[in-house]
Structure formats: C-alpha cells, structure tokens
C-alpha cells in the first residue's frame, strides 16, 4: 500500500485527470475523448502511435459503458449503426496499421496538424448550429474516413462522424447514441491491431490512468450536458485543442524550447 501511494499513484494521477476530464466532455457532446487525450499525451512527450494505442485501449472500456447506457435508454438507430460500424472498423484498422509501421517522428507534425484542424473546426462549429430533421445519406464513407483518422490521429471519430451526421440532419439523440455505441467496435478493433503490431509495451501507465478516469466519468457526462450548453463546451474544447496542438507543432519543429 505504501508503495502504491508513494510511487504508482503520483504517476497515475495526471492521466486519471486527463481521462476523467476528456470523458466528461465526450459524454456531454458525443465527441472529443480521443482528441483531447491524444493531444495532451503527445504534448507530454508520448509518441503518436503509443498515445493512440493507449487512448484506444482505454476507450474500449469507456465506450462499452457509454454504449450500454445508450442501449438501455433506447438511443440507438440500429440501421444507422450497421451502416456506420463496419466501415468504421475497416478505416480504424487501416489507420492503426499505418501508424504502427512508420516513424513516429515523421508523422508527429502531421498528427498535430490534424488535431489543430479539428480544434479550429470545433471553434467554428460552436458558433454555427445547423440542423434539419432528415435521415443522413452519406454514412459509410464517413465511417471509413472517421475510423481511419481516429486511429492514425489518436482521436477524431466523434468530431468527424457525429457532427457530420448532425449537419446532414440526423436526430441528435439517436445520432450521438449510435455513434458512441459504434465506437466500441472501432476502439476494440484498433486496440487489437496496435497490440499485434506494437505488443503489450504500447499499453503503459498512461493507459491505466486514462481508463480509470474515463470509466469513473462515463456515467456523469449526461448530467453535465443538462447544465452546460453544448456550444460552450465545443468552444472550450476547440480552444484547448488548437492551442495545445499548435504548441506541439511548434515544439516538434524546434520553434520553441
């Protein structure tokens, strides 16, 4: 117990906090757990492929909790789920394979640039609410691209897929529930792919911390959504991601110390 309190717990706490905060935002918006976690891990010096592997391993558990909750509350459009899940898994495995077999030093600036663009997009989205009630038409390609970007960038499934489906006119409740539930299959397949290519060493203490924080926060996201306007959370996430990722790009290019 003394060893746990003196050595392991202090090392876990930063990652528990990241996982908890990211899952609270994700629960309220249906997006941003992977993006926030990956951005902060990379900024802390974790390589892109190990950050993505750790985040997806933790998300396997947090999305399972979230998915079961959405199923219980009947927030799932099962037809949309079938159209989305399979392309998402294919894209995710492809993105994980690519990230596992290239030099992380080469990909890091591109990953951070992708995350910065997501942050800027979220800022824009926070001031532009567009919704027309109709069934989304572009689903499978969206799942494929969202899955690929999520695995290769360490996050992005929610921001890319959820928001595009809503932009096409999807019902907010069933869209968020369906995308979150489909994400469980995506994160499971991506985690297995990383495990095959990177081995168990890719799942570090950061993974454990993200898992603990995310699972604890998962049931609280819905309550948070009732008290804070989604647009305000979108703006906050966008600002944090943009500033953090931009700093990471500058650091990787040796523009800052």
Predicted pLDDT of residue 52:
78
- On whether residue 106 sits in a domain, the answer given is yes
- On whether residue 247 sits in a domain, the answer given is yes
Predicted pLDDT of residue 120:
85
Predicted pLDDT of residue 42:
80
Q: Grade residue 1 by pLDDT with cuts at 50, 70 and 90.
A: low
Predicted pLDDT of residue 125:
75
Higher pLDDT pick, 146 / 32: 146
Least confidently predicted of 75-84, 89-98, 118-127, 153-162: 153-162
What is the average pLDDT score of the chain? 79
Sign of the alpha-carbon dihedral angle for 20, 21, 22, 27: positive
Q: What are phi and psi of 256, to 5 degrees?
A: -130, 165
- On whether residue 155 sits in a domain, the answer given is yes
Predicted pLDDT of residue 239:
83
- On whether residue 79 sits in a domain, the answer given is yes
First-residue to last-residue Cα distance in the chain: 38
The mean pLDDT of 96-124, rounded to a whole number, is 75
| Percent residues over pLDDT 70 in the chain | 83
Least confidently predicted of 83-97, 171-185, 235-249: 235-249
Predicted pLDDT of residue 84:
93
The total domain count for the chain is: 1
The mean pLDDT of 6-29, rounded to a whole number, is 80
- On whether residue 118 sits in a domain, the answer given is yes
Q: Grade residue 153 by pLDDT with cuts at 50, 70 and 90.
A: low
The mean pLDDT of 9-14, rounded to a whole number, is 81
Predicted pLDDT of residue 256:
62
Given a cut of 70, is residue 133 above it in pLDDT? no
Domain that holds residue 46: 11-252
- On whether residue 50 sits in a domain, the answer given is yes
Beta-carbon contacts of residue 102 (< 8 Å; ≥ 6 apart): none
pTM over 0.85: no
The mean pLDDT of 76-84, rounded to a whole number, is 92
Q: Grade residue 90 by pLDDT with cuts at 50, 70 and 90.
A: very high
Q: For residues 18-49, b (16+ Cβ closer than 10 Å) or e, as one string?
A: bbbbbbbbbbbbbbbbbbbbbbbbbbeebbbb
Q: Which CA distances in Å does 78 have to 83, 138, 178?
A: 9, 16, 7
Cα–Cα distance, 23 to 34 (Å, whole number): 9
Predicted pLDDT of residue 89:
92
DSSP code of residue 132:
-
Q: Grade residue 82 by pLDDT with cuts at 50, 70 and 90.
A: very high
Higher pLDDT pick, 51 / 154: 51
- On whether residue 125 sits in a domain, the answer given is yes
Digit-coded pLDDT (tens) for 159-204: 778 878 877 778 777 888 888 889 899 888 888 887 777 677 666 7
């Amino acid at each position: 117990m003394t060893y746990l309190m003196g050595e392991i717990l202090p090392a876990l706490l930063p990652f528990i906090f990241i996982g908890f905060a990211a899952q609270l935002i994700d629960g309220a918006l249906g997006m941003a757990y992977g993006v926030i976690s990956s951005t902060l891990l990379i900024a802390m010096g974790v390589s892109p492929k190990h950050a993505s592997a750790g985040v997806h391993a933790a998300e396997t558990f947090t999305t399972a909790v979230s998915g079961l909750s959405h199923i219980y509350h009947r927030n799932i459009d099962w037809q949309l789920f079938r159209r989305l899940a399979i392309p998402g898994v294919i894209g995710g495995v492809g993105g994980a394979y690519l990230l596992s077999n290239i030099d992380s030093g080469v990909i890091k600036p591109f990953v951070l640039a992708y995350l910065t663009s997501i942050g800027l997009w979220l800022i824009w989205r926070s001031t532009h609410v567009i919704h027309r009630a109709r069934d989304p038409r572009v689903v499978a390609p969206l799942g494929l691209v969202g899955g690929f970007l999520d695995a290769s960038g360490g996050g992005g499934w929610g921001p890319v897929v959820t928001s595009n489906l809503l932009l096409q006119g999807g019902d907010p409740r069933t869209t968020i529930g369906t995308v979150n539930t489909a994400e469980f299959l995506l994160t499971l397949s991506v985690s297995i792919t990383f495990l095959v290519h990177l081995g168990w060493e890719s799942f570090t203490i950061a993974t454990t911390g993200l898992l603990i924080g995310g699972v604890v926060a998962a049931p609280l996201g819905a309550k948070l959504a009732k008290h804070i306007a989604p647009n305000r959370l979108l703006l906050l996430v966008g600002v944090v991601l943009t500033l953090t990722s931009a700093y990471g790009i500058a650091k990787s290019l040796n523009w800052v110390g």
